[in-house]
Amino acid sequence: MPDHALPLVDISRLQSPSRADRLAVAQELDRACVEAGFLYVTGSQIDAGLRARLVARAQDYFSQDLATKMQGYIGLSHNHSGYVPVGEEQFGSGPADLKEAYDINIDYHGSERRPLLGPNLWPAMPGFRADVQAWYAHLTGISHQLFRAFALALGLDETHFDAHLRHPPSQLRLIHYPHDPAAQDRPGIGAHTDYECFTLLHVTAPGLQVVDRHGAWFDVPLIDGALIMNVGDMMEIMSNGRYLATKHRVKTVAQERYSFPLFCSCDYDHVIAPVVRGEAPRYRPIKGGEHLFNQTAQTFAYLKQRIARGDLVLNDPVPLASFGRPEAGA
């Protein structure tokens, strides 16, 4: 396989009652994550109708004026949900991202509140909440099938992760990249790894770039009907480095672009540690939700301001860009 050809895995057989069928998909997933860390995912379980409704809701939402969108500003929420204006996010010392977003989490209303676990902020737009939650629930169901596939791939009981997926702070982002011909040196989103276990992404236009095994950037073309999937920090830890969180970015876009990543996590208090049997651990354990919040707080302006004021203190955060292979020249 050429370095810049991402693998494609059909996950349809993860729904099969045959363990042999599910194991065959798990082996394909394992090979793709070892070779690339990024892959295309297709499958009969992916609902194109729900996906189209999600895109339409995002287009309607982001077409509103800024004052209306800022009524749901993410800094007003208790669980990091709501509207993210252009310039709110910045990775490290690089330029602020040229994008806006609307972020939702599991919409948790129970008693075990955490910084990323609670009720979402929702805009007063008819149909928005219903269609966004429908896609969230649909893709979360697929993610549970994939967690079982990862368990098989890593030599664990197939249900190993089930007990740690009760109400995880998995985040869905509706991202709008407006085309700005004057912003030639400003990325849509800066180079980073994802913090969670893995990501499932639908995108409407090119722009995504990934680091290959030699540290060089390459463009990821779109495949009609396929989701893009990648490994995050937590799966790198749990696989004991068998899978590497792959650094990626979105370059300055030549056209308007919408992106819908679901970042798939385990429960907030679940301790993320190597799970591969018979290997000496190469990573120290971390509390999953705490890692996710610490990384988030190092990139969002409203959380950086709280840290600067002393209102928020992070507990031994891992520096950004601590996982995955480096880009060339880094």
Tens digit of pLDDT for each residue in 224-241?
999 999 999 999 999 999
Three-state helix/strand/coil letters over 232-300: CHHHHHHCCCCCCCCCEEECCCCCCEEEEEEEECCCCCCEECCCCCCCCCCCCCEEHHHHHHHHHHCCE
Q: How confident is the model at residue 87 (pLDDT cuts 50, 70, 90)?
A: confident
Residue-range domains of the chain with CATH: 22-309 (2.60.120.330)
**296: Cβ contacts below 8 Å, ≥ 6 apart:** 80, 116, 195, 303
Residue with tokens 């790894």: 193
DSSP 31-90: HHHHHTSEEEEE-TT--HHHHHHHHHHHHHHHTS-HHHHHTTBGGG-SSS-EEE-TTSB-
How is residue 7 written in tokens? 């693998």
Per residue in 129-156, pLDDT (tens digit) is: 999 999 999 999 999 999 999 999 999 9
pLDDT in tens, 91-135: 766 666 778 999 999 999 988 888 899 999 999 999 999 999 999
Report the chain's mean pLDDT, rounded to a whole number. 89
User: What's the CA gap between 125 and 22, in Å, rounded?
Assistant: 40
pLDDT at residue 190 is higher than 80: no
| Apex 238 CA angle, 296 and 103, nearest 5 | 25
Q: pLDDT > 70: what percent of the chain?
A: 91
d(CA 254, CA 129): 30
**Structure tokens of 156?**
């664990």
**Tens digits of residue pLDDT in 307-330:** 999 998 888 788 776 777 655 444
